[in-house]
Amino acid sequence: MTEQLRLMAVHAHPDDESSKGAATMAKYVAEGVDVMVATCTGGERGSILNPKLQGDKYIEEHIHEVRAHEMEEARKILGVKQSWLGFVDSGLPEGDPLPPLPDGCFALQPVETAAEPLVRLIREFRPHVITTYDENGGYPHPDHIMTHKISMVAFDAAADPDAYPAAGEPWQPLKLYYNQTMSRQRTVALHEALLARGMESPYASWVERWKERDQRTLTTRVPCADYFEVRDKALIAHATQIDPDGPWFHVPLDMQREIWPTEDFELVKSLVDTEIPEDDLFAGIRA
């Protein structure tokens, strides 16, 4: 191709872009690819997960503005563009039985209605490749599952001139991937590597919990170890969500680069010929 390649990553909340596929995005930015993050919600109902900031009344009262500022800092670190789709965080329901989701939240929107802002952004940005979550949302947060649903609708609808006619000129993305950065395969590999070196693993409960979990197919493993440090800086920018001394950072970078130097994806739609396994989200498009 002679035109600039374009990648869109669709995420549910601010911070998701930095924990899922961030090193891949930073790598492509360094190579001259135009990268856009579509953030579905503002993360308004997200808890303050960093114990160092818990109890801060200003943050509690201005969480929407704080998380928007964190997103802007992470965006700068990764070198990407970013757009808000404008939906309200659904929160993560807890309890038995689970409480109902709050009125007006993202996960309660009709899928066809909620897909329109994403269709509009796809038609404006014109990505060749889109990444999103699988049908389980990566984990079963209602906003992650809804992100999957609207992404699947928007990938096809963006190219249909009869769909959402007021949302811009049609555009056909060429490939759609599920982000599988936190796969069972990677988690087990890092867990076992830590134990083999006599180190404590933050993944013990994950591995136990995922014993019955099916392994996803990793069709595409993008080498991006040189950008793990950039990824971590972007994560730390989301200070309300990420403790810099927390489990995200327990595996030394050198070990990560040795044991699992890629971020991984599952190809689910392709309108170009490509051979599996891939090491490039643009395989079949560059040629």
261: tokens are: 């130097």
Handedness of CA 262, 268, 269, 275 (dihedral sign): positive
Of residues 116, 217, 128, 211, the one with CA closest to residue 168: 116
16 is in an annotated binding site: yes
232 is in an annotated binding site: no
62 is in an annotated binding site: no
Instruction: Please answer whether residues 218 and 264 qualify as being in contact, where contact means their C-beta atoms are separated by less than 8 angstroms.
Output: yes
- Give the residue carrying structure tokens 């808890």: 47
Residue 285's alpha-carbon distances to 3, 73, 143, 222, in angstroms, are 11, 31, 31, 15
**6-11 and 129-132 strand pairing:** parallel
Backbone angles phi, psi at 16, to 5 degrees: -60, -35
Binding residues for Zn(2+): 13, 16, 144
Binding residues: 13, 16, 144
